[in-house]
Amino acid sequence: MRANTNLFWILFAFMLLADAAYTVWSLIWYEGQVEWVGTVGIGLAAILSAFLAFYLGRVHKAQGAELPEDLLDSNIDDGDPEMGFYSPWSWWPIILAGGGALMVLGLAVGFWISFIAGALLLVAIVGWVFEYYRGYFAR
């Protein structure tokens, strides 16, 4: 992660240099006028690089140590965390996906379909959340 942070700081410096060069070039080429679209676009790319570098630096500092993915002598299994528990027999994700597709269809075709999709989405979310509180798999 530290290497990514350094790369984004290098990208930030490059974008600032490119922005200055582009501004000077546009002053020469356009007879004393600045071409604002390119100058602002490259400047905003530099700011985005600085934001990313700052964020990655803060995350690296907050995690406390190097991650297994960052170490050269680590194995693939070292960075394999527990992702959670997912029911392999659950039908609720399929119903939820159908409700989401119906919602997008309603936004594109007719808004009244979105009301039906909203109700279907609500039922699917509640069903998926509470599927282990009833029936054969209740705990």
Distance in angstroms between the alpha carbons of the first and the last residue of the chain: 41
Residue 137 has a pLDDT of 67
Describe the crossing of helices 92-108 and 111-129 by its angle, rounded to 10 degrees. Answer: 160
Report d(CA 13, CA 50) in Å as an integer: 9
Q: Mean pLDDT for the chain?
A: 89
Question: How do residues 16-28 score in pLDDT, each as one tens digit?
Answer: 999 999 999 999 9
Write down the pLDDT at residue 131.
86
- Residue 65: pLDDT over 80: no
- Tell me, what's the pLDDT at 139? 63
Calpha distance 77→75 (Å, rounded): 5
Amino acid identity of residue 97, one-letter, is A
- 90-95: Cβ within 8 A, 24+ apart: 90/128, 90/131, 92/124, 92/127, 92/128, 92/131, 93/128, 95/120, 95/123, 95/124, 95/127
Residue located via tokens 């119906």: 102
- pLDDT at 50 > cutoff 90: yes
The DSSP letter of residue 52 is: H
DSSP 34: -
**What confidence tens digit (pLDDT) does each residue in 72-122 have?**
888 877 777 777 777 778 899 999 999 999 999 999 999 999 999 999 999
